[in-house]
Amino acid sequence: MAASRKTDRIWIALLAGVLVPALGVRAARALDVIGYSATVNNRFTSGFPTAPVTNTSGSFVGAGYSWLGVGWSASDPTKSFGFLTPQHFLATVHYGGATTIDLLDGAGSVYSVTQSALTNAGYGFTNGGTQTPDIAVGKVTAPIATTRALPRYGVLDRNSTSTTNSTYNGQSLLVYGRGPDGTQSPRIGTASVNATTTTGSNIYIQSNTRSVVLQVGDSGSPDFIPWTNPDGQAELTIIGNNAATDFTTVNIYNMLGNSGVMGAINALTTPDGFALRVVGAPSNTWEGNLSTSITANNAWQTAPAPADDYVLFSGTAAGNGRAVAVNSGANLRGLYFKSTGSGTLGFTFSGAGTLTVGRGGITNYDTSRQTISSTIALGSHQYWNGGAGSVTAAAINTGTGFLLEIAGSGTSRITGGVSGAGGLALSGGRLELTGSSSYTGATWGHAGTLVVDGTIGSSSGVSLAAEGILAGSGRVPAIAGSGAVSPGTGVGILTAPSVSGAAGLDFDFTFTGTGSPLWSSGTASVNDVLRLTSASTPFAAALTSTNSIDVFLNVASLTPADVYRGGFFTDLDTSFLASVQSASWNYYLATPGGGTVHDGVAYAAYTGPYSFSLSTVAETANFTSGSEAGYVVQMIVVPEPGVAGAAGLALLAVRLVRRRRS
């Protein structure tokens, strides 16, 4: 009974202390770090919150890690949040989010994002079942730009299987908390996990208070486990956030490293095209010398062959054994490819078996391309980082609705079809889709260039964020968003049912010759075309001045009466001039040394002496799929008023008549 009464007193104190700060049981003060030193524990040395100067001391407990993913409330800078994706952050139910969150970018400048939603994830500390589970996920209005250098914190997965939830006891913590007031730096202290609770929705870890004590106002600030990734670099993994304390014995932290919690967070982030990044320590390393079979015990450094584990592939360690045979089904929770310093040591996976990839996804640290021609089945929502070397995959099955999010700095490729009820997202680099896909989930272009030369027409739609570009000469579903559509690779014909410019979508069109496009060639059409096939509403709404249409004229010169056709073509056989004429039309002429580069060609903004007469005209396009009578944009080069004399205008009229007759 005595032990039970003691436990009851702890939970009551917790409730009165941090979980309900309005009770005022203890005055708010800075995160209590035992043996505190500004040099050791402050994130910033001065200037917080409007012009913070980062603590670069080698004795700082957070030295060597990126803290750019932790922001603070603009109205109450003592309140902090850790970002899980470029659009989602971690908060607590009991302390809430913030209307505006400020963050520091890689250049040392403060920028702001706006909260649009805050949702209870259904898990977290419940104070013995007496209150709502405490984990909340906030969403901001738009993804944070990649130029801000926001780190993509991973959730450290130490669980023995994908469904078994293991203890995190003994793991080192970096605990983030408030400063004494909103003008003084947040603090970071160290602790160690000494208990893990995973009972139903009541999911949390705890530490003692010997090194750090949470204070009123610390709730919601993130907590991290320092991690050395499989390539040997130090990074932060986000494990949860501050929830409660009794001020004398126990600190409580909401915990993310649980299969139920990770699933709940993915349920909140994947509808926006972002998957939780999950990381884990490899349990085995591929050797591939005694056997090439992925399921053979002697193909790996230690037996048995891994199943539902994180694994490491090293081009130098494997020697000549970089050909992996997937002759039967294999299930790996995450695959890591170690950096070798060589672009010729990539792995190839082949065979009739299916490789199931779990929530850890694929990470390529190497400059070599990793090629998987065996069918991949997604076992969970997942995040891939192809790095500079990138990944080439063949067929991918997204299953019952799993999201595959791909990032990196190189060019990844999917050469086969993507199937299933899931979706596909690009968050950086370049992704080329050349196969015929049947997946029915959404497609996102958050950042980078998504090149569709095959078909993804069964997808529920393409959404482009401000940094996203859609290119290629294939078939896509309805297009919307605030990014840019740039048909072809050079020039080409991209086909979609409709387009919506309501969020500020832009368009880039290359023209390399006068007259009409070569309709029968989707990849060498002379002029770019976005073909819209809807029989009723090819444009969801008329384009406005918020939509830029950049016309890149890759021609030697302009001559009055030159006619260019392309840009937009509608299968709907009626003029659509009213839908495009109010956009911001900008013209560029190919110019060596020009300040604008598009598809590898330098251009300069065209300022005269001619202008362009814009219209839409009827045309029968002889596509490879058959002839289609529709309308196309036409631009005629004309002199500016007053530039040409009467004789010149008469000559222009004659030339126009001749063109019509021809």
Dihedral sign (CA 216, 255, 197, 210):
negative
Do 405 and 271 form a contact (C-beta atoms < 8 A)?
Answer: no
What are 17-38's pLDDT values in tens digits? 444 333 334 556 899 999 999 9
pLDDT at position 320 is: 84
Q: Considering only 18-32, 271-285, 481-495, which range has the smallest mean pLDDT? A: 18-32
pLDDT at position 299 is: 96
pLDDT at position 14 is: 39
- Provide DSSP, 88-110: EEEEETTTB--SEEEEE-TTS-E
For β-strands 601-605 and 484-487, DSSP reports them as unpaired
At which residue do the structure tokens 């199931």 appear?
356
Q: Exposed, middle or buried, 349 (CB in 10 Å: 0-12/13-18/19+)?
A: buried
pLDDT at position 159 is: 97
pLDDT at position 28 is: 65
Q: Considering only 208-217, 312-321, 393-402, 471-480, which range has the smallest mean pLDDT? A: 312-321
pTM, whole model, 2 decimals? 0.94
Do 397 and 377 form a contact (C-beta atoms < 8 A)?
Answer: yes
Residue 143 confidence (pLDDT) above 80 = yes
Q: How far apart are CA 562 and CA 637, in angstroms?
A: 5
pLDDT at position 29 is: 86
Summary mean pLDDT of the chain:
93
Percent of the chain residues topping a pLDDT of 90: 91
pLDDT at position 640 is: 78
pLDDT at position 608 is: 93
Mean pLDDT value across residues 57-70: 98
If DSSP codes are grouped into helix, strand and coil, which group holds residue 404? strand
Do 97 and 58 form a contact (C-beta atoms < 8 A)?
Answer: no
Q: How far apart are CA 519 and CA 516, in angstroms?
A: 8
pLDDT at position 232 is: 97
**For the CA atoms of the chain, what is the radius of gyration?**
29
Task: Give the E-state strand segments of 163-246 in sequence order.
Answer: 172-177, 187-192, 195-199, 202-208, 212-213, 222-228, 234-245
pLDDT at position 642 is: 58
Residue 13 confidence (pLDDT) above 50 = no
Do 187 and 242 form a contact (C-beta atoms < 8 A)?
Answer: no
